[in-house]
Amino acid sequence: NGKVVKTFRVAIGQPAYPTPTGTYKIVTKQKNPTWIPPDSPWAEGLGEIPPGPGNPLGTRWIGTSAPAVGIHGTYADWSIGTAASHGCLRMHIPDVEELYEKVSIGMPVEINP
């Protein structure tokens, strides 16, 4: 219905890797995701990171239709409220777990960092 239900503090993309703006759709959801290095120069030579405290995606991944951009948790709580990511929206672990339960695949998401 277009009403804002809740807002969360997030980390957005660094100036070199800005978070895209616009309306997208949720296309995937995953609990305890494995981080797979993206095809990007900054990730060259990095390997997969299994679920756990060292995983940069935290405990949840909500993939959007924006290419290679999703909403995910982070163990780097200090980064929330800053431009620290490579384009994704980072959230505190409890916040992304709450959001994960409230969204479904196909749902629109407006990104306005």
Q: Report yes or no on 103 lying in a domain.
A: yes
Report the pLDDT value the prediction gives residue 15, as an integer from 0 to 100: 95
Annotation marks residue 88 as catalytic: yes
pLDDT digits (tens, 9 = 90+) for 69-92: 999 999 999 999 999 999 999 999
Domain CATH for 17: 2.40.440.10
Q: Report yes or no on 85 lying in a domain.
A: yes
Report the pLDDT value the prediction gives residue 2, as an integer from 0 to 100: 72
Annotation marks residue 92 as catalytic: no
Q: In what order do the strands lie in the sheet with 89-92?
A: 89-92, 70-74, 60-64, 22-31, 108-111
Q: What is the pTM of this model?
A: 0.90
Q: Report yes or no on 6 lying in a domain.
A: no
Domain count, the chain: 1
What CA–CA distance (Å, rounded) separates 43 from 45?
A: 6
What CA–CA distance (Å, rounded) separates 44 from 6?
A: 37
Report the pLDDT value the prediction gives residue 30, as an integer from 0 to 100: 96
Q: Report yes or no on 4 lying in a domain.
A: no
The domain in which residue 27 lies consists of 12-111
Q: Report yes or no on 3 lying in a domain.
A: no
The active-site residue, picked from 35, 57, 72, 95, is 72
What CA–CA distance (Å, rounded) separates 102 from 44?
A: 34
Report the pLDDT value the prediction gives residue 44, as an integer from 0 to 100: 80
Report the pLDDT value the prediction gives residue 74, as an integer from 0 to 100: 94
Report the pLDDT value the prediction gives residue 105, as an integer from 0 to 100: 98
The phi and psi torsions of 92 (rounded to 5 degrees) equal -60, 145
The active-site residue, picked from 62, 88, 89, 91, is 88
Q: Report yes or no on 2 lying in a domain.
A: no
The phi and psi torsions of 99 (rounded to 5 degrees) equal -60, -40
Q: Report yes or no on 25 lying in a domain.
A: yes
Report the pLDDT value the prediction gives residue 12, as an integer from 0 to 100: 96
Identify whether the C-beta of residue 42 lies closer than 8 Å to the C-beta of residue 86: yes
In Å, how far from its chain's centre is CA 54? 16
Residues in the chain where the model's pLDDT stays below 70 = 1, 113
